[in-house]
Amino acid sequence: MVFDYIDGAAGEGYGELLNRETIRNIRLQPRVLNNVEHRSLEVPLFGNSAGLPFGISPMGMCNLSAPGADLMLARLAASENIPTGASTAASTSLEDIIEAASGNAWFQLYFSGNETMSDQLLDRARACGYQTLVLTVDVPEVGRRPRELRRGFKMPFKIGVPQFIDFACHPVWSLTTLAKGRPELANFGGKFGEFDRTASRAGADWSLLQRLRDKWQGNLVIKGVLSADDAQRIKSYGIDAIQVSSHGGRQLESAPPAIEMLAKIRQAVGSEYPLFYDSGLRGGEDIVKAYAMGASYVLLGRPFLFAIAAGGEQGLTEMKTLLAQEISIALAQLGVCDIQSIDREMIVL
Ligand SMILES: Cc1cc2nc3c(=O)[nH]c(=O)nc-3n(C[C@H](O)[C@H](O)[C@H](O)COP(=O)(O)O)c2cc1C
């Protein structure tokens, strides 16, 4: 059930597959005899420098992959100086995440239509030191994800006979999760009210963007954009960055490959505007391709949770090291010493 929640996507999963296939089919142009002895993976990000060219996209209920997953991600963010997303639907409170991340966390807001609840979350985020707010706009309704539905995945858990059998078949996961307490929507409960991850957010419109811009003085990122027209309009509201994303194929199965829309959006917003990218990146060369298609920074989702599920915090560190090595080797093959030198010219059409 947990694997189907993490790995699952909208419909038959073709949109999610197409994201990865499209990235895989991009070819990069090797160049030779440039001195590439000294390579750097640092990338400028909101006036600072991210230690690695990839960050952690916000994900709800990460502790389902293993107990303590949110804090493992936060510690990775702290040690590498990269951003980790603290989701509205996180299984660890936004206060605990930013502390463990030593400030390297971005708060991700789902606007539920309940302005009081959103204001309360913004106040909490501000109070504990978040400087970057990510508003996710591609979930007017939660996408239909049959693998979740078939498993009866609900938060909080509803444990019927099929779920009980499923847990019994995965004793290591079940016992460790039981021992550490079952994951909850940690930003809610008690005085903070209840959150329904499947609730409709269909009432949000452009006026929300204006209100949020007025309320949030820090960096404001709009996540989940696939249209060049939308991107231009968002930019005109004084938004600091756009995260091009198809939510990892979890929302609209028939959406175009997000990486192709990244290139179109880059053309529409000009070369200087900060554009972040996530969806379908699985290796170091994929990350380099996203920069070549126009990203100013990139983030990954599922691979982090798979690494934790497979190998805990050590697995996560190993995956980070592997990705960094792959990127560095790819830079050498392309004849450049840093990510900022990657550009569209390096793609072979
Ligand atoms: C298990 C899971 C939970 C997610 N929860 C959120 C969320 O709470 N908020 C959000 O903005 N995006 C959420 N996302 C989307 C990710 O931020 C990101 O867009 C996506 O995972 C990137 O694609 P990738 O998994 O192919 O790297 C979630 C993704 C997954 C896999």
The tens digit of pLDDT for each residue in 158-202 reads: 889 998 899 999 999 999 998 998 899 999 988 788 888 788 888
Assess if residue 212 is contained within a domain.
yes
Q: Which amino acid is at 125?
A: A
Which is it for strands 132-136 and 347-348: parallel, antiparallel or unpaired?
Answer: unpaired
Tally of domains within the chain: 1
User: How many whole angstroms separate alpha carbon 197 and alpha carbon 199?
Assistant: 6
Q: Tell me if residue 40 falls in helix, strand or coil.
A: strand
Assess if residue 227 is contained within a domain.
yes
pLDDT given for residue 189 in this prediction: 86
Q: Please identify every stretch of the chain with a pLDDT value under 50, giving residue numbers as ranges.
A: none
Q: What is the CATH number of the domain that holds 6?
A: 3.20.20.70
pLDDT given for residue 249 in this prediction: 98
User: How many whole angstroms separate alpha carbon 73 and alpha carbon 77?
Assistant: 6
Assess if residue 322 is contained within a domain.
no
Distances (CA, A) of 200 to 90, 219, 243, 252, 298: 18, 26, 22, 15, 28
Closest CA to ligand 1's atom 28: 59
Q: Is 91 exposed, middle or buried (0-12, 13-18, 19+ CB in 10 A)?
A: buried
Assess if residue 109 is contained within a domain.
yes
Q: How far does the centroid of ligand 1 lie from the alpha carbon of residue 97, in Å?
A: 17
User: How many whole angstroms separate alpha carbon 104 and alpha carbon 45?
Assistant: 11
User: How many whole angstroms separate alpha carbon 23 and alpha carbon 300?
Assistant: 14
Ligand 1 pocket residue status of 73, Cβ below 6 Å: no
Q: How far does the centroid of ligand 1 lie from the alpha carbon of residue 6, in Å?
A: 8
**53 upstream amide cis, omega within 30 of 0:** no
Ligand 1 pocket residue status of 248, Cβ below 6 Å: yes
Cβ atoms 4, 11 nearer than 8 A: no
Cβ atoms 72, 313 nearer than 8 A: yes
Reported as a single tens digit per residue, the pLDDT across 245-269 is 999 999 999 999 999 999 999 999 9
Q: Known catalytic residue: 247?
A: yes
Ligand 1 pocket residue status of 109, Cβ below 6 Å: no
Two tokens, residue 24: 């895989």
Assess if residue 122 is contained within a domain.
yes
Assess if residue 34 is contained within a domain.
no
pLDDT given for residue 157 in this prediction: 76
pLDDT given for residue 263 in this prediction: 98
User: How many whole angstroms separate alpha carbon 325 and alpha carbon 293?
Assistant: 21
Q: How far does the centroid of ligand 1 lie from the alpha carbon of residue 57, in Å?
A: 6
Q: Which ligand 1 atom lies nearest to the CA of residue 302?
A: 25
pLDDT given for residue 154 in this prediction: 84
Q: Name the active-site residue from 247, 250, 302, 320.
A: 247
Q: How far does the centroid of ligand 1 lie from the alpha carbon of residue 34, in Å?
A: 38
Question: Which helix (H) or strand (E) element contains residue 297?
Answer: strand 297-300
Q: Which domain, by its residues, includes 253?
A: 2-27+55-311
Closest CA to ligand 1's atom 13: 59
Sequence-ordered list of residues with C-beta below 8 angstroms from that of 7, at least 6 positions apart, any chain = 147, 302
pLDDT given for residue 314 in this prediction: 98
Assess if residue 321 is contained within a domain.
no
Cβ atoms 167, 157 nearer than 8 A: no
Assess if residue 143 is contained within a domain.
yes
